[in-house]
Amino acid sequence: MCGITGYIGHREAYPIVINGLKRLEYRGYDSAGIMIYDGKNIQLSKTKGKVSDLESITNASPTKKVGKIGIGHTRWATHGVPNDVNSHPHFSQSGNLVIVHNGIIENYDTLRKELISRGYTFKSDTDTEVLVNLIEEVKKQEGCKLGKAVQLALNNVIGAYAIAVFDKTKPNEVVVARLGSPIAIGVGKNESEFFIASDASPFLEYTKDVVYLEDEELAIIKLGRAIKVRKIKDDSLVDPNIQELKMNLEEIEKGGYEHFMLKEIYEQPKAIIDTYRGRMLPDSGIIKMAGVDDNLNKFLNAERIIIIACGTSWHAGLVGEYLIEDMARIPVEVEYASEFRYRNPIITNKDVVIAISQSGETADTLAAIKLAKSKGAFVFGICNVVGSSIARETHAGAYTHAGPEIGVASTKAFTTQITVLSLISLKLAKSKGTLSDSAFRMYLQKLQLVPNSVEQLLKIDEKVKEIANHYKNATNCLYLGRGFNFPVALEGALKLKEISYIHAEGYPAAEMKHGPIALIDENMPVFVIATNKGHYEKVVSNIQEIKSRAGKIIAVVTEGDVTVKEIADHVIEIPETEEALTPLLTTIPFQLLSYHIAVLLGKNVDQPRNLAKSVTVE
Ligand code: F6R
């Protein structure tokens, strides 16, 4: 949801800011803008479209690229359509203050009216232009410095924000602040330069020292001085915590793949290993997970587990429900975080809540966590981004170690979330005695084989591409699965929708006859998961029902299958494993299929329209 990047130091700011914007484009790509301060004037360039469009504009005016201070923005529109005027940065009325903003100011209309009554006029429809003028007004009224004005103004704001503000009349500093949207500050040697960004990826090659602002914190970044961090509410000073980043540059580059999504699909064997390494010890027959071990009694005594998440993470949560109930026999409910937070749910201190999020920044999931905590529940997080807001907000948790996921369509996050959920289920089952020691050990052995099986599955890429070519012009598709693979059907449909814009629906296979069967004709491709232990005969009957209505069947089956092969139009085989672990395999062909269809249709795979990787607004 919008990317912010900035630089203040001894180097030319433009290349750092523009390259940073390219790395943050996964966060939004409706429009982009940049301001460079050349020592005298602010040079502004902004446009509807992508960072590459912005680059074309700035390339035509090289003088606009010269200067040692810059801030930039790539936008995912909230207030105001994506056009040149609504693009960030925004100026205050005097032209002295410039701002970039990620988030939503909910009371912007009231503030706007108040500012209009004081003589302010507005060029854009954005809440951001209201905020920069509010800061200017406070600065004027109080006669204070920029940092103080930002602090006072933000106390009048309702909503979410990560902002960077620059004042032409005090050009040696940048003020940043956050509430609900992330902001990272990279610290150069001896404070000779600073980098600002929504995540650390834009400045990885310059510094590994980073300060992540906490919610309701503001930082004054001045050259040659230590960062000053204050609480927005009461202006009290906070000690900035400088952390050393472990991430490296290769992890966030495409590494020879045409798209991040493809790279991330292929990274899954390693991502799964990285996720269970050190936690699962098949030879000793144990699972060690500090976050679970330290709170084992809370899990074991829980009256129920509530899983909250959004999108793909919600689908992983659904697999988690099947796993935990089947293995550990603890009742589980899976909720959309966005519904949970607003429906006055019944939560008690006997509940354990598991929040799942790749980015760790999803606004709805974060709000749902806060609600659950306020009602006394113990909240456990499963996140991919280390140090993210959700990782910090939860009582305990487990990281997925998938590495940075840049493609907007989530792939390796899904399989690593399922890996963590499998480990938790197995651990709880062993502790509760609902799974025998031999069954437990057998699962560990099988889970250890999964990365190899994924590797093997990835070799069918060419075959999946052929199938994609066959069905690329479909306008509707159905995805069917049962049991552990019902969530995979939902996930398969979501992947196709989001990157190829083909309408697709996921259904429990047996539910098809209660409605969707009416859709089936010779133009309807139906993707069915028919693994050999997952109610196989029942699914075969569902396949027959589709076939007798002329539907086209593309089936994902277990190696060596005979029956489905005879009926289906296309068959993709997955290596044999335990049914509970099949989602880690059955999802792979669907990821590849969506990828190839989108590429064949000429869609922008890594940046599908209207989407953003990290949804920090509700
Ligand atoms: C789909 C996708 C989204 C996210 C959802 C939650 O491919 O990426 O549906 O899964 O926005 O995001 P996180 O997991 O970051 O909370």
Q: pLDDT value at position 582?
A: 98
Res. 104 pLDDT band, cuts 50 70 90? confident
Question: Per-residue confidence at 75, pLDDT binned at 50, 70, 90?
Answer: confident
Residue whose structure tokens are 């706007």: 112
DSSP letter at 550?
T
Q: Tell me what pLDDT residue 410 has.
A: 96
Report the C-alpha gap between 612 and 599 in whole angstroms: 19
Average pLDDT over residues 85-95: 95
What whole-number distance in Å separates Cα of residue 92 and Cα of residue 131?
9
The gap from C-alpha 478 to its chain's centroid, in whole angstroms, comes to: 25
Q: Whose CA is nearest to atom 9 of ligand 1?
A: 311
- Enumerate residues 6+ apart whose C-beta is below 8 A from 381: 354, 355, 356, 357, 360, 369, 390, 391, 393, 394, 396, 397, 398
pLDDT of amino acid 249:
75
For residue 461, what pLDDT is reported? 94
Alpha-carbon distance of 391 to 380, in angstroms, equals: 9
Tokens of 332: 């589980």
Query: Would you place residue 535 in the very low, low, confident or very high pLDDT band (cuts 50, 70, 90)?
Result: confident
Tokens, residue 19: 């390259």
Q: How far is the CA of 369 from the centre of ligand 1 (A)?
A: 16
pLDDT at 298: 97
The predicted pLDDT at position 129 comes to 96
pLDDT recorded at residue 348: 93
Q: Can you tell me the mean pLDDT for 608-618? A: 74
The confidence score (pLDDT) of residue 600 equals 97
Which two structure tokens, joined as six digits, stand for 338?
A: 């966005």
pLDDT at 177: 98
- Residues near ligand 1 (Cβ within 6 A): 310-313, 357-359, 362, 365, 409-410, 494, 498, 614-615
Q: Which residues, 6+ apart, have CB-to-CB distance to 267 below 8 Å?
A: 402, 403, 412
Residue 613 falls in the annotated catalytic set: yes
Q: State which ligand 1 atom lies nearest to the alpha carbon of 410.
A: 7
- pLDDT (tens digit, 9 = 90+) per residue, 17-44? 999 999 888 787 789 999 999 999 999 9
Q: How far is the CA of 77 from the centre of ligand 1 (A)?
A: 18
The span from the CA of 193 to the CA of 371, in Å, is 39
Quick one: tokens of 442? Answer: 């057998």
Q: d(Cα 539, Cα 586) in Å, to the nearest integer?
A: 15
Nearest in space to 102 (alpha carbons), one of 189, 176, 8? 176
Judging by beta carbons within 10 Å of its beta carbon (0-12, 13-18, 19+), is residue 365 exposed, middle or buried? Answer: buried
Closest-lying ligand 1 atom to the alpha carbon of residue 495: 7
506 strand-pairing partners: 479
Q: How confident is the model at residue 510 (pLDDT cuts 50, 70, 90)?
A: confident
Measured in degrees and rounded to the nearest 5, phi and psi for residue 571 equal -135, 135
Residue 465's pLDDT is 96
Residue 93: Cβ within 10 Å count: 18
The pLDDT of residue 611 is above 80: no
Question: Mean of the per-residue pLDDT values for the chain?
Answer: 94
Q: Which residue lies with its CA nearest to atom 3 of ligand 1?
A: 311
pLDDT tens-digit readout, 297-330: 999 999 999 999 999 999 999 999 999 999 999 9
Nearest CA to ligand 1 atom 5: 311
What digits encode the pLDDT tens for the residues 121-161?
999 999 999 999 999 999 999 999 999 999 999 999 998 89
At 259-303, the pLDDT tens digits run 999 999 999 999 999 999 999 999 889 999 999 999 999 999 999
pLDDT at residue 488 is higher than 80 = yes
Q: Which residue has the tokens 């859709």?
A: 519
For residues 482 and 614, the answer to whether their CB atoms sit within 8 Å is no
| Average pLDDT rounded to a whole number, residues 428-455 | 97
- The values of phi and psi at residue 561, to 5°, are -60, 140
Distance (Å) from CA 233 to ligand 1 centroid: 31
Per-residue pLDDT at 616 exceeds 80: no
pLDDT for residue 615 is more than 80: no
For position 76, what pLDDT does the model report? 80
Residue 248 pLDDT class (50, 70, 90 cuts): confident
Rounded Cα distance, 118 and 289, in Å: 58
pLDDT at 82: 83
pLDDT confidence of residue 65: 94
How far apart CA 412 and CA 379 sit, in angstroms, is 24
Helices and strands (DSSP H and E) totals, the chain:
20, 27
- 2 as an active site residue: the answer is yes
Distances (CA, A) of 250 to 238, 341, 404: 34, 38, 10
- Give me ligand 1 centre to Cα 150, in Å: 32
pLDDT, residue 231, reads 97
